[in-house]
Amino acid sequence: MPQASTLALVLSSSPLHEQDKLITLLTADRGLLKAVAPGAAKLKNRFGSLLELFSEGEFNYYWHEDKELVTLSKGEIIKSFFTVVSAAENVFYFYLMAEIVIKSIPLNHQDTRIYKLLSAILRSREKKLAMDWLLLYFLVWLLRGEGLLFNPQRCSNCANRDFVRAWLRNDYSGLLCPACKTNERQSLSKEELTYIHWTATHAPDDPRTWDGSFAPAPLIRTMVSKIEYHGEFSLQSRRYLPEFR
């Protein structure tokens, strides 16, 4: 049986049979990986806290050529984010991010950017950066990484760049300036457009603060709607966030 090891973040863990668990890992170099953790549902098991949501660890696994799921043999925890992720004010934001990655990224999609993005978000929250702004940063960068983010500085119809408010096309494919707008309802302010452009060259823990420049909730809802539209799925975790109540 082929064997391998990988650095990964745990995105989900659910019961499988009586004693096992089904684990979804976001690996640093192999994309998403679905794995069986034998005996992980037992009170005493070899994995311990390694399988908690967003634990970062080194995972050893093996697989059969005729099976889609790999089997975890052992692992070593490198960094636990349990305190950050499990906090009541954070947990549903991280559930949403995990759900988005699981539903958006194909299995074995070898792209290191999403792993680095989530790692940066987790470490930024450890530094007490606001959770809603971190979620917004994640959403913008996920769309950018998948090639789905519109140009925030250009009208998709006339190429005009001189506007202080733009409207999002109904199919989310681009922005329209005031002169090109027809029946579009979702609009973005100059501050929101500037923020989207700013994220391209700044880390989430950049010292510049956006607090007070605009409320992030409307843009969060717009980005989530765009992800759902392109992915043709509904995100269940969003119902628990204050931005969607």
User: Domain check: are 162 and 185 in the same one?
Assistant: yes
- Give the DSSP H or E segment for 68: none
45, 80, 115 - which closes a domain: 80
d(CA 137, CA 155): 22
**Residue 66 has what pLDDT?**
64
Other beta carbons less than 10 A from residue 138's beta carbon? 26
First to last CA, the chain: 49
48, 65, 80 - which closes a domain: 80
**Residue 49 has what pLDDT?**
87
> Nearest 10 degrees: CA dihedral of 16, 19, 25, 31?
-60
User: Domain check: are 131 and 223 in the same one?
Assistant: yes
Q: Considering only 44-53, 87-96, 123-132, 159-168, which range has the smallest mean pLDDT? A: 44-53
User: Domain check: are 91 and 73 in the same one?
Assistant: no
Res 171 pLDDT > 80? yes
User: Domain check: are 159 and 178 in the same one?
Assistant: yes
Cα 145 to Cα 66, 125, 174, 179, 221, distances in angstroms = 32, 21, 16, 30, 19
Q: How confident is the model at residue 68 (pLDDT cuts 50, 70, 90)?
A: confident
Q: What is the mean pLDDT of residues 204-229?
A: 91
Res 137 pLDDT > 70? yes
**Residue 41 has what pLDDT?**
85
CB 200 within 8 A of CB 141: no
Res 209 pLDDT > 90? no
Q: Where do we find the tokens 């500037």?
A: 194
User: Domain check: are 57 and 131 in the same one?
Assistant: no
34, 56, 80 - which closes a domain: 80
CA angle in degrees (0–180, nearest 5) for 116-117-119: 65
**Residue 225 has what pLDDT?**
97
**Residue 109 has what pLDDT?**
81
CB 53 within 8 A of CB 11: yes
CB 45 within 8 A of CB 121: no
CATH code (residue 21) = 2.40.50.140
**Residue 212 has what pLDDT?**
83
User: Domain check: are 143 and 71 in the same one?
Assistant: no
User: Domain check: are 11 and 28 in the same one?
Assistant: yes
Q: Write out pLDDT tens, residues 146-158.
A: 999 999 999 999 9
**Residue 210 has what pLDDT?**
84
Q: Considering only 17-21, 75-79, 148-152, which range has the smallest mean pLDDT? A: 17-21
Q: What is the mean pLDDT of residues 98-120?
A: 92
Q: How confident is the model at residue 17 (pLDDT cuts 50, 70, 90)?
A: confident
> Nearest 10 degrees: CA dihedral of 216, 128, 202, 156?
-20
Secondary structure letter of residue 107 according to DSSP: B
SS3 sequence of 77-102: EEECCHHHHHCCCCHHHHHHHHHHHH
CATH code (residue 93) = 1.20.1440.120
* Number of domains making up the chain: 2
Q: SS3 of 75, please?
A: strand
Secondary structure letter of residue 201 according to DSSP: T
User: Domain check: are 216 and 112 in the same one?
Assistant: yes
User: Domain check: are 229 and 128 in the same one?
Assistant: yes
CB 44 within 8 A of CB 25: no
**Residue 42 has what pLDDT?**
86
Can you name the residues that pair with 22 across neighbouring β-strands?
A: 14, 36
**Residue 176 has what pLDDT?**
98
More confident residue, 109 or 4: 4
User: Domain check: are 173 and 218 in the same one?
Assistant: yes
User: Domain check: are 102 and 204 in the same one?
Assistant: yes
Res 1 pLDDT > 80? no
Res 46 pLDDT > 90? no
d(CA 201, CA 182): 32
Q: What is the mean pLDDT of residues 41-55?
A: 87
Q: How confident is the model at residue 142 (pLDDT cuts 50, 70, 90)?
A: very high
Q: How confident is the model at residue 25 (pLDDT cuts 50, 70, 90)?
A: very high
**Residue 189 has what pLDDT?**
96
User: Domain check: are 215 and 122 in the same one?
Assistant: yes
- Give the DSSP H or E segment for 180: none
d(CA 188, CA 177): 10
User: What's the domain range around 11?
Assistant: 3-80
Secondary structure letter of residue 69 according to DSSP: S
